[in-house]
């Protein structure tokens, strides 16, 4: 059996549990029942910028300003490359200016609010800490106490997506099946 690449590094018992649900075709249904509220409403780059800025102002008031935020369809969601944060410093008028850009994989347009919060918190923490170290994760946890649960569940979703290619919360995907209970959707 090929390894579940999105779950690398998690305890064996959790991986086995995920594998079992996947093999039984129940992983999607399990995620849908845990996140039954559906996709969040942040649809555009402008809305995403507002969302990210609001979170930043709540938790990191003294941090650098974020210059650009966008959904990016070119980000391939593998392991740690869920989003992307670029930091460009350039000299302007004799002063060193920092320019922060946050790009979030387009996949995050159609996920539950919890997953958008998780990736945003992750990218915001990168404003202060480049590496995925202890300080990094404690910042993530300060902004979202359930950070680790949401990241794990997001990885379960990526595992499900790769195996089935069936988005769970995409409103377009469900548009012609509105009278079907999402959890009962098995196709
Ligand atoms: Zn990261």
Q: In the chain, how many domains are there?
A: 1
- Of 45, 38, 32, 12, nearest to 161 by C-alpha is 32
Q: Judging by beta carbons within 10 Å of its beta carbon (0-12, 13-18, 19+), is residue 56 exposed, middle or buried?
A: buried
Instruction: Examine residue 137 and state whether it is found in any structural domain, yes or no.
Output: yes
The yes-or-no verdict on residue 92 having pLDDT over 60 is no
- Looking at residue 127, its pLDDT comes to 86
Q: Show the domain range for 78.
A: 38-164
CA 81 to centroid of ligand 1, rounded, Å = 7
pLDDT > 70 fraction of the chain, expressed in percent and rounded: 78
Q: Which of 6-15, 90-99, 124-133 has the lowest mean pLDDT?
A: 90-99
Distance 166 CA to ligand 1 centre (A): 26
Point out which residues pair with 105 in neighbouring strands. Answer: 72
Res 90: pLDDT:
57
User: What are the residues whose beta carbons fall under 8 Å from the beta carbon of 11, sequence distance 6 or more?
Assistant: none
Classify residue 25: in a domain, yes or no.
no
pLDDT of residue 96: 58
Asked, for residue 157, whether it belongs to a domain, the answer is yes
Residue 181: the pLDDT is: 44
pTM of the predicted model, to two decimals?
0.82
Q: How much is the average pLDDT of 67-86? A: 69
Looking at the domain assignment, is residue 68 inside a domain? yes
Residue 8, H or E segment: none
Sheet holding 83-92, edge to edge: 66-72, 95-105, 83-92
Alpha carbon of 122 to ligand 1 centroid (Å) = 6
Residue 128 pLDDT > 60, yes or no?
yes
Supply the pLDDT for residue 184.
42
Residue 75 · residue 83 · CB < 8 Å: yes
Of 4-13, 116-125, 159-168, the one with minimum mean pLDDT is 4-13
Letter string b/e over residues 8-37, b meaning 16 or more CB atoms within 10 A of that residue's CB: eebeeeebeebbebbeeeebbbbbbeebee
Question: CA-to-CA distance for 161 and 27, rounded, in angstroms?
Answer: 10
pLDDT tens, position by position, 93-126: 666 566 788 888 888 999 999 999 999 999 899 8
* Over residues 6-22, mean pLDDT: 92
Higher pLDDT: 22 or 105? It is 22
Look at residue 174 and tell me if it is in a domain: no
Q: Is residue 126 part of a domain?
A: yes
In a domain, 12, yes or no: no
**Ligand 1 centre distance from Cα of residue 37 (Å):** 27
Q: Given this model, what pLDDT does residue 147 score?
A: 94
Q: For residue 187, how many other CB atoms are within 10 A of its CB?
A: 6
CATH of the domain at 54: 3.30.2010
In a domain, 186, yes or no: no
Q: How far is the CA of 108 from the centre of ligand 1 (A)?
A: 15
């Amino acid at each position: 059996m090929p390894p579940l690449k999105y779950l690398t590094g998690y305890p064996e018992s959790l991986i086995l549990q995920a594998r079992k649900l996947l093999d039984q075709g129940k992983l999607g249904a399990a995620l849908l029942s845990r996140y039954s509220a559906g996709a969040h409403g942040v649809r555009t780059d402008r809305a995403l910028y507002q969302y990210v800025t609001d979170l930043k102002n709540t938790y990191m008031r003294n941090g650098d300003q974020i210059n650009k935020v966008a959904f990016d369809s070119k980000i391939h969601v593998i392991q740690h490359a869920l989003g992307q944060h670029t930091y460009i410093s350039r000299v302007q008028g004799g002063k060193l200016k920092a320019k922060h850009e946050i790009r979030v994989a387009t996949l995050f347009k159609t996920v539950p609010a919890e997953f958008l919060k998780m990736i945003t918190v992750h990218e915001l923490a990168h404003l202060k800490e480049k590496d995925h170290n202890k300080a990094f994760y404690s910042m993530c946890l300060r902004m979202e106490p359930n950070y680790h649960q949401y990241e794990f569940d997001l990885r379960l979703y990526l595992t499900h997506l790769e195996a089935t290619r069936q988005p769970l919360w995409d409103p377009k995907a469900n548009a012609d099946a509105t009278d079907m209970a999402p959890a009962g959707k098995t196709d």
